[in-house]
Chain A
Amino acid sequence: MIRLDSVSKSYDGGTTWAVRALDLHVREGELMVLLGESGCGKTTTLKMINRLIEPTSGRIEVDGTDAADRNPVDLRRRIGYVFQRIGLFPHMTVGENVAVVPKLLGWPKPKIDGRVDELLRLVDMAPGEFRVRMPRNLSGGQQQRIGVARALAARSNIMLMDEPFGALDPLTRASLQDEYRRLHGRLGLTTVMVTHDMTEALLMADRIACMRDGQIVQVGSPHDLMTRPKDDFVRGLMQTPKEHADRLESIFQKQEPHD
């Protein structure tokens, strides 16, 4: 579905590399997480898929065609994108935000209206109540639901998500993670998601690509990475959520006698 072939990106003419000779294959229907610390090149990699950033070298294939051969604007309209800072347009209503891409694609108005309501219901927001609200009157969680609905609007089956739930409080984050995972399965999406949150990666991913210094260190299912980490870096990454879980468990056990 999405194939990156020896893709590199340098912002300074080759002195330093944000992404270096990266190979990655995302299969149809898969939820692939790019995991790594800040500055490891995961966001650059994501943005090269819809050509928000042009690769310095290498080849990117989307849906069987070379992305470089496609009109970047057209390419982006076919690929859903959920932004780290949500990025709803404050001068547009919720409904208008969701309708942005269908409008760009020139859909007839009745079709757009129907699609907006359908999407609002899909992300559990009552259309009658929310369609005409302004984004600033929504909570963070509600805003990112709209962000997801907007990304889905043009029926694209490929979704790119850049730390989509990072700005939300933990409870909201957990419920949105669950909901997105369900949507992903139900709509048959192919998703590439960037995060530095190990727990999020483990809970949501079909496969995880661990990145360091612009390169992929290991790709595999959460189980693979947990049980057969390739090196200390991956082991360290996987260790963090496990340690959290262990510490939480010990706290609960100590507290049990008092209950």
Chain B
Amino acid sequence: MSSEVAQRATECLGNLPDYLGQHVQISALALAIGIAVSLPLAILGVRSRTLRWPTLTAASVIQTIPSMALLALFFPVLVGLSHVTQWALGVSISALGFLPTIIALTLYSMLPILRNTVTGITGVDPAMTEAARGLGMTSMQVLTRVELPLALPVIIAGVRTATVWVVGIATLSAPIGQTSLGTYIFSGLHMENWIAVLFGCVFAAALALVLDQLIGLMQSGVSGRRSGRVAAAGIGLAVVIGGGAILPAFQGILFAPPEGQARNEKPRAGEAKAERTYVIGSKTFAEQYILAAAIRDQLADHGLKARLREGLGSAVVFRALASGEIDCYVDYSGTIWVNQMKRETIPGRRAVLEGMTWWLAREHGIRCLGPLGFENAYALAMQRKRADDLGVRSIADLAEPSPNLHIGGSYEFFGRPEWTRLRDAYYLNFAQRRQFQATFMYKAVATGEVDVIAAFTSDGRIAAYDLVTLEDPKGVIPPYDAVLLLGRRGADDVALARALHPLVGAIPVETMRQANYAVMRDTDTKTADQAGAWLRREIGVAPGKNP
């Protein structure tokens, strides 16, 4: 067990230069822009009361938007903007990762800086500003020589608050595709890798603390005229920010894992004259991480370069493919059918696949290369003993006992149309419904905290926890065939299609379950990379390498 902890910690450490470096970069840049925008805005607000109220109110309103939502909100906005720039200038901007992160973090940093600057300047003793005017300072000189220096401690206190917030919130940028210390936290959460979660939290907290203290030192040095302190703080800040800027270049050099299992680019055999790097997306659960790793390795074996954009939200990943931000990912037929095509009737597995393939090509220029061979559908699942006690075999049997039962599901599930249809078709009326992150959902049903869960059929934990899945005699739940989707740029790419074709129809659900379980179980846990490699060997698409 302890050697496993050590192994996971070593893996985490291997990604530290990249994750920490990028975290510092986005935080520092967002703060710099935040200060550059907020200070003049606050000064205008001090001078003109008509401007002050709307500015501060807007900043307060932004603050009330949940961080996660604010980060996600900029994705569709930027996608729209990208269409405009593409049309007007022939340049498309990336709607994922860096840009929305910087915009959202900048907006978040503004309120404390704005408010403290306004408070600081309006709090300057009127005797000081009168003296300054009386001695013959222009209003600009009053501002720069008297008001700002006297308000400085209050302004810097605002910058410190903003710094702590931004460093913390920057962890939430992982689901929109920005690498940061949050990548540890989110992938750790989805993969049940608590070491990684802890790693992300500890480093984010430490970074916030260090920056906060350095800025505090800077302030006390400035107001106490201690040039030594100012210099020390300045050097400290320069080291942190400069270090952040160059750290990612040391990825794979510093703290490199012993066997050179660098994550994003493995040493390639032979034909490495790839012209472009394909971007492979993944959603936020283990199966997606494993399949993304398998696809990357598959491309690598065909001499194609690829990198991963992992942990994207379900809606974000589809739009990213449609807009060309990513080239390839795995989705599920039912998800496209219900969420994107907004269909209400379920014509059957084949019809859904064909309808979806045709619709994707026509509406978005997306090519569906084909189903991978397994389904990852929703299924209501219960503990075997509980189901036996209640005499429940199919969802229809739940109608009667449901008012005394609790149901658990993912955040997404209860918002999906099939839940409504399921409820209406089978007259379900549960006493309580609770939303969980997948990991906790399985634990909750295993411990009896909830009676029924909306499980995923390819999840290894169904077998591991000895759950039974309930039949759906009325066929309400749509089929969820895993399908390999290629974006606009990849749709006509013969090399890409040829490299990925061996995966089509090749993955049985049992193999997928085993791979999923390998990364989720508590002992002898595998990484997504290892599970992806195992999967490829298992289905016989990997060239004859031995384990």
Contacts and interface: CB of A to CB of B under 8 A. Distances in A.
Interface of A: 50, 52, 73-78, 81, 83, 85, 87-91, 100-101, 104, 150
B125 to A, nearest CB: 8
A87 B223 CA distance: 18
A178 B48 CA distance: 45
Interface stretch (B2-10, B128-136, B295-303, B459-467): B128-136
Given A91-B150, A91-B223, A104-B141, A85 B127 contact: yes
B491 interface: no
Contacts of B132: 89
Interface residues of B, number: 17
B127 A76 contact: no
Nearest to B146: A89
B134 A76 contact: yes
B226 to A, nearest CB: 13
Given A91-B149, A104-B141, A76 B131 contact: no
A73 B134 contact: no
A52 B135 contact: no
Contact of B137 (A78, A87, A90, A104): A104
Contacts of A101: 135-136
Point out which of A75, A81, A87 has the most chain B C-beta atoms below 10 A from its C-beta. A87
A50 B134 contact: yes
Interface of B: 127-128, 130-138, 141, 145-146, 149-150, 223
B138 A83 contact: no
Nearest to A76: B136
Given A91-B150, A91-B223, A76 B130 contact: no
Nearest to A150: B135
A104 B149 CA distance: 17
A177 to B, nearest CB: 21
13 contacts: A50-B134, A52-B134, A81-B134, A83-B127, A83-B134, A89-B145, A90-B128, A90-B150, A91-B149, A100-B135, A101-B135, A104-B135, A104-B137
A81 B150 contact: no
A77 B137 CA distance: 8
A83 B130 contact: yes
A67 to B, nearest CB: 14
A77 B134 contact: no
Contacts of B136: 73-78, 101, 104
B151 to A, nearest CB: 10
Contacts of A85: 127
Nearest to A79: B136
A81 to B, nearest CB: 4
A201 to B, nearest CB: 22
A77 B135 contact: yes
A78 B132 CA distance: 14
A74 B136 CA distance: 7
Given A83-B127, A87-B127, A73 B137 contact: yes
A138 to B, nearest CB: 16
Contacts of B223: 91
- Closest A-B pairs by Cβ, 6 of them: A87-B131, A77-B136, A76-B136, A81-B134, A85-B127, A91-B149
A235 to B, nearest CB: 34
A50 B131 CA distance: 12
Nearest to A147: B131
Given A77-B136, A104-B136, A104-B137, A87 B130 contact: yes
Contacts of B146: 89
B133 A89 contact: no
Contacts of A104: 135-137, 141
A78 B135 CA distance: 9
A254 to B, nearest CB: 44
A101 B134 CA distance: 10
Nearest to A162: B134
Given A90-B150, A100-B145, 20 more contacts: A52-B130, A73-B136, A73-B137, A73-B138, A74-B136, A75-B136, A76-B134, A77-B135, A83-B134, A85-B127, A87-B134, A89-B128, A89-B132, A89-B145, A89-B146, A89-B150, A100-B135, A104-B135, A104-B136, A104-B137
Nearest to A87: B131
A87 B133 CA distance: 11
Contacts of B130: 52, 83, 87
Contacts of A150: 135
Contacts of B127: 83, 85, 87
Given A73-B138, A90-B150, A91-B223, A52 B131 contact: no
A56 B137 CA distance: 23
A76 B150 contact: no
A50 B135 CA distance: 10
A162 B134 CA distance: 11
Nearest to A160: B134
B133 A83 contact: no
Nearest to B134: A81
B338 to A, nearest CB: 64
A113 B504 CA distance: 84
B33 to A, nearest CB: 28
A83 B223 CA distance: 24
A179 B104 CA distance: 62
A47 B373 CA distance: 88
Given A83-B127, A87-B128, A91-B149, A52 B137 contact: no
